Structure 1
Amino acid sequence: MQPSTSLSPPLSAPSLRRRMACWLYESLLLFGVVFVGGIVLGAAGVLFGAPLSPRALQAMLFVVLGMYFAWFWSKGQTLAMKTWHIQVVDTYGRPLTRIRALARYALAWLWLLPPLSMVAPFHLPIAEVAVLTFGWVAVWALLSRFHPQRQFFHDVLAGTRLIDTAQENQGA
């Protein structure tokens, strides 16, 4: 056997369980971001005498979330990712550029857009939307099991990957 010439261990993906736990924790943190963003945007509309329409408010919150994720992902981790020892890097293990982070953000909407696109044409009640959304998220997450590096499809499309930083922290 030939000794490995690499100076660092290979970048391995965190377990699906950890990634999904991080995803749930991130959603709890995002509740606060969306809440504060909604209050600020709503108050600005009232102050200027022209409240935002629900669609405009949704568009503005989409931008606020994009800024949140682009900022933190270009630094390597969101708060939830730090907690769960997960980092996002490009396919070569380098930090993300803001452009790549924004691309990942746009592609990450593949988690939610298909089930949400069924709401308007079929006038689905909220319970059915929840079942569709959770079902799609489960399928989407399980598909990562078929990727050779266990990455999510939106990460593959964005040229990014999630890596496990817990191993690095144990060695330090």
Structure 2
Amino acid sequence: MTRSHDNASISCPLWRRLAALVYDLLAVVAIVMVVGLLCQLATGGQVVAAGAHATIAWWYQPLQGLVVGAYFGVSWWRGGQTLGMRPWHIRVVGTDGGRVSPGQALGRVVVAALPLLLLALAPWLGLRGAVWAVLAGWALCFAPALFDPRRRALHDLAAGTELHRIG
């Protein structure tokens, strides 16, 4: 069933999607902790090697990224909502108002994660500067939602999705 885009009440305001993102941050922290624990148990505590400089196994951070990305992508594809979106009564839908396809969910995850590449600037900016760069990148990703009539962020525009208020 297709919904009309003329009804502004179905579009999700930026403040509501950011509030849901704060809730999702709690879920992400829990996921990262569980994956970290499982990796430590599986490697006998060798994921992080102590020494003059602590080193992390090459596969650990990509694994964490994959698991967190899967949390978002599968949540959007299967039910249109993450845990954080449920209490705020918002759902990701295709621009036709229908269910998000696996490709749209993947595209949304990839575009939303792109600012994380700015962490590579840490050797030049320091960790604090690189984290600020990531936050600025995310702010730019959400900026279109302030001006778009359907309140879509950059990852929505790229993936052909939008957020609707439900219930």
TM-score (norm 2): 0.80
Aligned residues with identical type, % of pairs:
30
- CA drift of 1:139 comes to 3.1
Q: How does 1:76-155 map to 2 (within 5 A)?
A: 76-113=80-117, 115-120=118-123, 122=124, 124-155=125-156
The structure whose Rg is larger is 1
Aligned length: 156
Instruction: Report if the CA contact (8 A) 1:91-1:161 is conserved.
Output: yes
From 56, 61, 66, the equivalent of 2:64 is 61
| 8 A contact 1:110–1:154 mirrored in 2 | no
More helix per residue: 1
Aligned partner of 1:38 in structure 2 is: 36
RMSD of aligned residue pairs (Cα, Å) = 2.4
CA distance in 2, matches of 1:154, 1:109: 9
Shift of 1:158: 0.9
Q: Is the CA contact 2:12–2:90 (under 8 Å) kept in the aligned structure 1?
A: yes
Gaps in structure 1 of 5+ consecutive residues:
1-5
In 1, the alpha carbon distance for the partners of 2:85 and 2:162 equals: 13
The one-letter amino acid of 1:132's match is A
Q: TM-score, normalised by structure 1?
A: 0.78
| Deviation, structure 1 residue 103 | 2.1
Query: Residue 112 of structure 1 aligns to a residue in which SS?
Result: helix
